[in-house]
């Protein structure tokens, strides 16, 4: 207590005498020998407040220690904007054709059970033709049950059948054009048994719909035809079909390309391959190709690749995201093509013989059947990866295929597989 009192009395005495004690902090100065700007001080860096003015002790070039006024700091105002949570758009539903679980024939009708389709509206169309005929002209029946009894089948005849999921408000009177929401199931054959008298009477009274099909409505297509999605058919598989769909579980025969106005402008847009977050991230479900994968197995693979790119978190500012968001012809299975599909697209655009294993060279751009105008001579993105940071593209001006960083903005043209 004695020392504490002595210290207090000494400080009071020094202040009254005008003595200034300073340290690295601030001191309040009063008395006769007031610190002032230009006055001599004793310790560099010391600070005081004298007569409401903040001073700091600075060492001059000459070595002299002098008080200097501390410049007032500028007060800035920071405005904080609170951004509400972003609502992510609902992911697209994968389009999956119905799977025929069972099919059996009875007198004058067939009993069919389907499952695993997506989307499922609860409205289905069954189409059939005599075995050995194509579906350019067919008979059709509407039903709303997954286990369906299909009437009007002639006795002892063998039929080829297939099943679609239709729009939920679809009626037979609407016809079939662009009314389906999935591809058709795998086709299958049923042979009807001999008829009873009652069955023959029912068949004679039956009314069915016969429709002549175009390429756009499910008929046979050739290069240059308008496809179901409103694009142009640019590839017809020469020998049967190729695997396609979200999981490569379906089969297709044709590829169609969207028009160059697909994004709402007058020409194909340019997009990044991936948003900044994923521009150095590998997609595990896409095989990295050290060379352009111009292989028959690459035809139809673009849908699966594009789903993987979007599922990584890439939005419509990216090539695959924008292609998947396109819904021309009310079709939801558009995608960014692989190097193989892009090479076939380039060959069609340049009007040269199509071969998936042959580089796109020769010809003239935008001269293929139905391909008058629309393609840029610059680079188009594919959905094929080279590595974590780079992906493949193709130059339509000369057909060169190479790779680039995913942050590049290149042209985009969606395609889809069908048939």
- Return the pLDDT at 327: 95
- Return the pLDDT at 21: 41
- Return the pLDDT at 366: 94
- Return the pLDDT at 391: 98
Phi, psi of 2 (to 5 degrees): -65, -45
Contact at 8 Å (CB) between 161 and 112?
yes
Distance between CA atoms of residues 349 and 346, nearest Å:
5
Joined together, the tokens standing for residue 284 give 């595990």
Contact at 8 Å (CB) between 299 and 344?
yes
Q: Which of 15, 27, 31 is nearest to 55 (CA)?
A: 27
Q: How many CB atoms lie within 10 A of CB 92?
A: 15
Q: Pairing relation of β-strands 254-257 and 232-236?
A: antiparallel
- Return the pLDDT at 404: 97
Contact at 8 Å (CB) between 302 and 337?
yes
- Return the pLDDT at 32: 43
Q: Pairing relation of β-strands 47-50 and 26-29?
A: parallel
Q: Which of 314, 311, 283, 312 is nearest to 384 (CA)?
A: 283
Joined together, the tokens standing for residue 48 give 């005081």
- Return the pLDDT at 12: 37
- Return the pLDDT at 135: 86
Q: Does domain 99-213 have CATH number 2.60.40.10?
A: yes
- Return the pLDDT at 337: 98
Query: 70 has which bridge partners?
Result: none
- Return the pLDDT at 202: 57
Distance between CA atoms of residues 68 and 58, nearest Å:
7
Contact at 8 Å (CB) between 200 and 171?
no
- Return the pLDDT at 200: 58
SS (H, E, C) 207-248: CCCCEECCHHHCCCCCCCCECCCCCEEEEECCCCCEEECCCC
- Return the pLDDT at 197: 63
Contact at 8 Å (CB) between 272 and 280?
no
Distance between CA atoms of residues 395 and 69, nearest Å:
67
Beta-carbon contacts of residue 336 (< 8 Å; ≥ 6 apart): 302, 305, 306, 309, 319, 320, 323, 324, 381, 382, 383, 412, 414, 415
- Domain spans of the chain? 21-69, 99-213, 232-418
Spans of the chain below 50 pLDDT: 1-32, 73-84, 86-88, 207
Joined together, the tokens standing for residue 410 give 């290149």
Contact at 8 Å (CB) between 194 and 156?
yes
- Return the pLDDT at 343: 97
Joined together, the tokens standing for residue 264 give 């709402």
For 293-308, what is each residue's pLDDT tens digit? 999 999 999 999 999 9
- Return the pLDDT at 211: 63
Instruction: Find where tokens 């094929």 sit.
Output: 384
């Amino acid at each position: 207590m004695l020392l504490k009192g002595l210290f207090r009395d000494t400080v009071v005495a020094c202040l009254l005498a005008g003595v200034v004690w300073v340290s690295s902090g601030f001191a309040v100065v009063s008395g006769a020998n007031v610190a002032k700007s230009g006055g001599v001080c004793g310790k560099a860096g010391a600070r005081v407040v004298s007569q409401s003015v903040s001073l700091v002790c600075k060492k001059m070039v000459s070595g002299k220690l002098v008080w200097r006024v501390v410049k007032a700091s500028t007060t800035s105002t920071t405005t904080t904007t609170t951004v509400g949570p972003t609502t992510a758009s609902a992911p697209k539903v994968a389009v999956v054709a119905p799977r025929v679980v069972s099919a059996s024939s009875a007198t004058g009708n067939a009993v069919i059970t389907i499952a695993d389709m997506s989307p499922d509206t609860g409205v289905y169309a069954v189409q059939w033709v005599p075995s050995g005929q194509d579906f350019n002209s067919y008979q059709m029946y509407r039903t709303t049950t997954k286990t369906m009894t299909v009437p009007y089948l002639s006795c002892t005849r063998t039929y080829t059948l297939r099943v679609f999921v239709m729009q939920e408000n679809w009626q037979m009177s609407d016809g079939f054009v662009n009314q389906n929401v999935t591809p058709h199931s795998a086709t299958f054959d049923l042979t009807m048994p001999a008829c009873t008298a009652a069955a023959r009477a029912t068949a004679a009274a039956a009314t069915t719909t016969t429709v002549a099909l175009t390429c756009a409505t499910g008929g046979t297509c050739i290069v240059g035809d308008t496809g179901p999605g409103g694009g142009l058919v640019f590839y017809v598989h020469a020998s049967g079909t190729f695997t396609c769909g979200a999981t490569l579980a379906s089969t297709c025969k044709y590829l169609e390309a969207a028009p160059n106005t697909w994004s709402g402008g007058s020409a194909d847009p340019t997009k990044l391959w991936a948003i900044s977050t994923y521009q150095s991230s590998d997609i595990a479900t896409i095989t990295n190709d050290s060379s352009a994968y111009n292989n028959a197995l690459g035809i139809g693979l673009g849908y699966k690749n594009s789903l993987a790119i979007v599922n990584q978190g890439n939005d419509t500012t990216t090539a695959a995201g924008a292609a998947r968001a396109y819904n021309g012809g009310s079709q939801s299975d558009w995608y960014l093509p692989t190097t193989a599909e892009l090479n076939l697209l380039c060959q069609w655009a340049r009007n040269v013989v199509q071969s998936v294993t042959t580089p796109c060279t020769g010809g003239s751009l935008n001269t293929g059947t139905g391909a008058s105008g629309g393609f840029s001579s610059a680079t188009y993105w594919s959905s094929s990866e080279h590595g974590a940071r780079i992906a493949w593209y193709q130059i339509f001006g000369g057909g060169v295929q190479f790779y680039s960083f995913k942050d590049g903005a290149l042209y985009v043209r969606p395609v889809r597989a069908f048939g």
